[in-house]
Amino acid sequence: MLGGLSLDGSRVRSALVVLAAIAAIVCLPAAGEASPITWSSPQLVEPGALPGSTELGPLACPSSSRCVAGEQGGEIASSSNPAAVPAAWSSSYIDHSGDIAAIACPTSSLCVAGDSAGDIVWSTITTGGVTVWHLAHITGPLSGEDALGAVSCPTASLCVAIATNGREYVSTAPTGGASAWHAAGRISQESELRSLSCPSASLCVLASGSDELLTSTNPGAGAASWTTTVVAGPALRAVSCASEVLCVGVGAAGGVLVSSNPTGGSAAWVATTVSDGGGELSSISCIAPAACAAGGASGVVLSTANASGGAGAWSVGTIDPGHNLNALTCVSANFCEAVDNAGNALTATSVTSVSASWAAVHIAGGSALRDVACPAAQLCIAVDGTGEVIASRSPLAGVGSWQAAQTSLTELRGVTCATTRLCVAWGPKGLEGASNPAGGAAAWSQETVPAGPVNAVSCPSRSLCVAIAGVKVLVSADAANGAAAHWRTAATLGRAGIRDLSCPSAHLCVAVDATGRAIVSSHPTGRSSWRSTLADPPTMGSGVREFAAVACPSVRLCTALDEFDTTAYSTRPARPGTWHLVGPHAEEGANIPFDDASCASPTFCVFVGALGVANSFRRPGLADNVVVFKGRPGNLASFHPSSADGRQRLVAVACAPTQICVAADENGSLVVGRHR
């Protein structure tokens, strides 16, 4: 809520904006089918990490309900529902010896990974955390002597690992520890051996990073069983074999090599250039009989239902602009998963996936919006400067889900909802209450308050609403009723200029003002229970720091936002001297002057405001206007700046307890996003 925010009041019809998945559609149908696969927008696998700080590398999905991805620093992220929105991944530190460099999962109950220190890491349960993963050093006596760059397991009883120095390691019992792996010799002098595909126990194909391919029909028999083939095509970065009669390699400049006889020598591999703007392809996954998808630089994906059909058989799309797709795997014609160098996962299914990012599709709406409230994912209420209430029982559903109703007030500045059965909107001339907020104009009852224009309102429950009007504190036990008599003056504050109010319970209300002060009460219905504390003192040369908003998801956490891209927080807000400052949160020199805040829980809040400078790293041309907090309030790394509706100032935000957040911009638009 942003109490008292003054925007352009001109009666200009504008648009509400609701989140829709912005996804590039690429075709990967099964043989004889034409159903498209749609890629979701990027979703952070590890939401607590700064966007772009976590690079995901190898990826394996033995089924559409099991995916495992390796990370730098020895972490492994896993999901039993990779297509879920919000992203349903968990991450654990598994390996303190090195980075996870390769992963293979022959079944849903067995995954085998190799790291940069020559260790094999394996698990028989891929979503159980650190305790179910085991580690064994299988290469040379010196840690890091043989980094394991490629692993492939055609069955649970055969795994082949290739070190980056060309040494091969084989196991018929990959969960048996170091003694179950044996060194089979050095099969290549190349140093970029990072992609191995074994569709069966009688065929393995290895991409060398150059113009050489290595093949073996008996990979456990040692170095002599491998044959090197020089191919006329791109330097190969990745290879995938759907079967023993289809292998496809990819590399630089959109180059693709296809073979129906992988051990047949150079002539058996046919080169094709599929235009992708010259970017390098670094990953590929093929499924029988002939469908493939490949990913690489700048988020480009290539896909085909017939890999042998030449360049014209491939489709090209960009699913993750600005990021490189480090790994991609397909389980079926209707499920693929990809991960990028910014810690995001992308899912492709036959059903469009809703993005976890902020994006837009336009529907009809009202004039300049002032505030928004979402007591649940199934109800959001926005108010505008002309007295309209715009409600939706399905905020993600698009055009038909938002309905505007004119209240009896000519101007509304804010709205708050205790539950789906009580919302209160307010403006300079009074309050409007409703027990059925989406019920149209007749559902809203006007209430004339016994004091001046209302600055802020917060309702911790259906039986208590607290309003601040000038210096007066007003309370009501029946705010949905249209009678003014249901509001009474409970206290008089020592100062005016209140900007916002948040009451997480009947035993705590926190207001903030334009001088950096928090005014707190543990008994808001009492006459002398409010006291002031300087929560955001001036810094040298900055003058008075003006608070814009406050959000208290519980009595154990309140967060207030100031005009200098800084948050003040307290885990004991009723006690003086317990407020601490964190920030600034945006990139250096890109301060986001905050306007509003909303918290879905004590560990998840969204702050919105004016545009910082255009960020050049995450989304070129767009400016940061959102900071997402997830984690501990005292940790700067828990705050993640980003863009939502990235060319407008956001003036208000509301997060439901689950699923969605809705933000309003200064031109009368809404953006809706999903959260955990």
Taking 60 as the threshold, does the pLDDT of residue 612 lie above it? Answer: no
pLDDT band for 42, please (50, 70, 90 cuts).
confident
pLDDT band for 82, please (50, 70, 90 cuts).
confident
Taking 70 as the threshold, does the pLDDT of residue 266 lie above it? Answer: yes
pLDDT band for 277, please (50, 70, 90 cuts).
low
Taking 90 as the threshold, does the pLDDT of residue 598 lie above it? Answer: no
Position with higher pLDDT, 47 vs 613: 47
Burial 377-405 (b: 16+ CB within 10 A, else e): bbbbbbbbbbbbbbbbeebbeeeebbebb
| In the chain, % of residues over pLDDT 70 | 75
Residue 268 is predicted with a pLDDT of: 93
Taking 50 as the threshold, does the pLDDT of residue 477 lie above it? Answer: yes
Position with higher pLDDT, 516 vs 23: 516
Residue 295 is predicted with a pLDDT of: 87
Residue 3 is predicted with a pLDDT of: 37
Position with higher pLDDT, 350 vs 549: 549
Start-to-end CA span in the chain (Å): 21
Position with higher pLDDT, 455 vs 18: 455
Sorted by sequence, the CB contacts under 8 Å of residue 478 that are 6+ apart come out as: 463, 486
Taking 60 as the threshold, does the pLDDT of residue 567 lie above it? Answer: yes
Residue 179, phi-psi category: left (phi > 0), alpha (psi -120 to 50), beta (remainder)? alpha
Tell me the pLDDT of the chain averaged across its residues: 77
Q: Which two tokens stand for residue 25?
A: 């559609």
Q: CA 2, CA 455: separation in Å to the nearest integer? A: 9
Domain boundaries, the chain: 20-349, 361-675
Fold of domain 20-349: Methylamine Dehydrogenase; Chain H (2.130.10)
Read off the pLDDT of each residue in 412-431 and give the average, rounded to a whole number: 90
Q: Do domains 20-349 and 361-675 have the same CATH topology?
A: yes
Taking 90 as the threshold, does the pLDDT of residue 104 lie above it? Answer: yes
Taking 60 as the threshold, does the pLDDT of residue 199 lie above it? Answer: yes
Read off the pLDDT of each residue in 401-421 and give the average, rounded to a whole number: 89
Read off the pLDDT of each residue in 20-26 and give the average, rounded to a whole number: 26
Residue 310 is predicted with a pLDDT of: 84
Classify residue 232 as exposed, middle or buried by CB count within 10 Å of its CB (0-12, 13-18, 19+): exposed
Residue 351 is predicted with a pLDDT of: 26
Q: CA 254, CA 467: separation in Å to the nearest integer? A: 62
Residue 561 is predicted with a pLDDT of: 83
Q: Let me know if domain 361-675 sits in CATH 3.40.50.2000.
A: no
Q: CA 300, CA 315: separation in Å to the nearest integer? A: 11
Place of tokens 């160098």: 341
579 with 561: CB under 8 angstroms? no
Read off the pLDDT of each residue in 108-133 and give the average, rounded to a whole number: 77
pLDDT band for 25, please (50, 70, 90 cuts).
very low
pLDDT band for 355, please (50, 70, 90 cuts).
very low
Position with higher pLDDT, 76 vs 262: 262
Sorted by sequence, the CB contacts under 8 Å of residue 244 that are 6+ apart come out as: 199, 200, 202, 203, 262
- The CB-side HSE value for 451 (13 A sphere, CA atoms) comes to 22
Local structure of 148: helix, strand or coil = strand
Local structure of 516: helix, strand or coil = coil
pLDDT band for 240, please (50, 70, 90 cuts).
very high
Find the range with the poorest average confidence among 80-84, 157-161, 250-254, 398-402: 398-402
Taking only the tens place, the pLDDT of each residue in 488-515 is 888 888 777 898 999 999 999 999 988 8
Read off the pLDDT of each residue in 109-125 and give the average, rounded to a whole number: 88
Residue 201 is predicted with a pLDDT of: 92
